[in-house]
Amino acid sequence: MQDSGRQTGLEARSVHAWRGDRHVIRGLSLRVTPGHCLHLAGPNGVGKTTLIRILAGLIRPEDGSVLWRGEAVGHDPDAFHADTAFLGHDNALKADLSPLENLAFWSALAGRPAAAVAATLGAFGLQACLGLPVRVLSAGQKRRVALARVALSGASLWLLDEPFTNLDTGGIRLVEAQLAQHLAAGGMAVVAAHQPVTPDQGEVRRMELS
């Protein structure tokens, strides 16, 4: 397992990061292998968002390295990003376009069939809003559209920053079901959340930052 993990998963080795003059991430190491989900927990401001953005390659760590399938992410970032889906605090949706149009664009960039978009949005309980401009959706409905983008991406690694924000209990169950399916198919995930993360399948490891 140890070795195959090196080759197939995501690994961070003693990563350090500063924000301003705060040393937020201090020598953190982690590993995620297929079928596993890492749940990042910890109080507000501890650095969960910072860590997820480092793993995604949006922030370069001051020190340490992030490896994907055994190679440094910086070596071929495009290949890494092609296999990763990231959800941040923002939803990355255009207020003037409908959920359908928004996701059609992202799935075109990811090289996924356009046909799947409507079905996935439906699975997220958005049948009634497919054609409305995103600006009129409620906060929870917007979050669901953003989550549908991740589910559509076909990426092996999901990086989700507080995916449950603004979701009702039904929405949370939905996301966990999608996560379970992803893990069961050999996917990986890193999820920052204040709530427990309990998909039916796949193994969740909780990591408390402090």
Partner 1 sequence: MTARPGLWRVGMAVYARDLRLAFRRWEQAVQPVVFLLMVATLFPLALSPEAAQLRGVAAGVLWVAALLASLLALEFLFRADHEDGSLEQLVLSGHPLGWLSIFKVLAHWTISGLPLVLVSPVVATSLAVPASALAVVMLSLLLGTGVLSFVGGAAAALTLGVKRGGVLVSVLTLPLVMPALIFGAQAADLAIMGESARGPLLLLLALLVLSVSLAPLAIAAALRIGVE
Partner 2 sequence: MWTWFHKLASPPHFYRIAGLTIPAFSWAAGLLVAAGLYGGLVLAPPDYQQGEGFRIFYVHVPSAILSMFVYATMAIAAAIGLIWRMKLAHAVAAASAPIGAWFTACALATGSIWGKPMWGTWWVWDARLTSELILLFLYLGYLGLRSSFDDLQRADRASAVLAVIGIVNLPVIHYSVVWWNSIHQGSTLLTPGAMPIAMKWPALCMLAGFALFYGAVLFVRLRGEVVRRERSAAWLREVLVK
Partner 3 sequence: MTPRQKRIWMVVGIVGGVGLAATLALQAFQDNLMYFQSPTQVLEQPIAGERSFRLGGLVEPGSVTREPGNLEVRFRITDNVEAIEVSYAGLLPDLFREGQGVIVRGKLGADGLFVAEEVLAKHDENYMPPEVAESLRMPPLIKQVEAGGA
Beta sheet of 71-72, edge-to-edge order = 22-32, 10-19, 63-68, 71-72
* Closest of 162, 153, 3 to residue 81, by C-alpha: 153
Residue 25 Cβ vs ligand ATP, minimum distance, rounded to whole Å: 8
Beta bridge partners of 207: 40
CA 33 and chain centroid, separation: 15
Stretch that binds a copy of itself, among 5-13, 103-111, 113-121, 168-176 (CB under 8 A): 168-176
Residue 112 Cβ vs ligand ATP, minimum distance, rounded to whole Å: 26
Question: In the stretch 16-55, what mask flags binding to partner 2 with x, by CB under 8 A?
Answer: ----xx----------------------------------
Decide if residue 90 touches partner 3 (CB under 8 A). Answer: no
Q: Count other Cβ atoms within 10 Å, centred on residue 121.
A: 24
Decide if residue 59 touches partner 1 (CB under 8 A). Answer: yes
Decide if residue 97 touches a copy of itself (CB under 8 A). Answer: no
Is the Cβ–Cβ distance between 50 and 19 less than 8 Å? yes
Query: Tokens 């408390």 label which residue?
Result: 208
In whole angstroms, give the CA distance from residue 9 to residue 203: 14
27, 45, 77, 122: which one binds a copy of itself (CB under 8 A): 45
Using the minimum distance from each CB to partner 2, give the nearer residue, 22 or 205.
Answer: 22
Using the minimum distance from each CB to partner 2, give the nearer residue, 70 or 74.
Answer: 74
Where are the alpha helices (H) located in 21-168, listed in sequence order?
Answer: 48-56, 77-82, 99-109, 116-123, 139-153
Using the minimum distance from each CB to a copy of itself, give the nearer residue, 104 or 172.
Answer: 172
Residue 156 Cβ vs ligand ATP, minimum distance, rounded to whole Å: 24
Decide if residue 140 touches partner 2 (CB under 8 A). Answer: no
Using the minimum distance from each CB to ligand ATP, give the nearer residue, 136 or 184.
Answer: 136
Instruction: Tell me the one-letter amino acid at 98.
Output: S
89, 94, 205, 206: which one binds a copy of itself (CB under 8 A): 89
Instruction: Tell me the one-letter amino acid at 146.
Output: A
Using the minimum distance from each CB to partner 2, give the nearer residue, 62 or 208.
Answer: 62
In whole angstroms, give the CA distance from residue 125 to residue 26: 40
Which stretches of the chain bind partner 3, using CB under 8 A?
A: 75-76, 78
Which stretches of the chain bind partner 2, using CB under 8 A?
A: 20-21, 133, 135-136
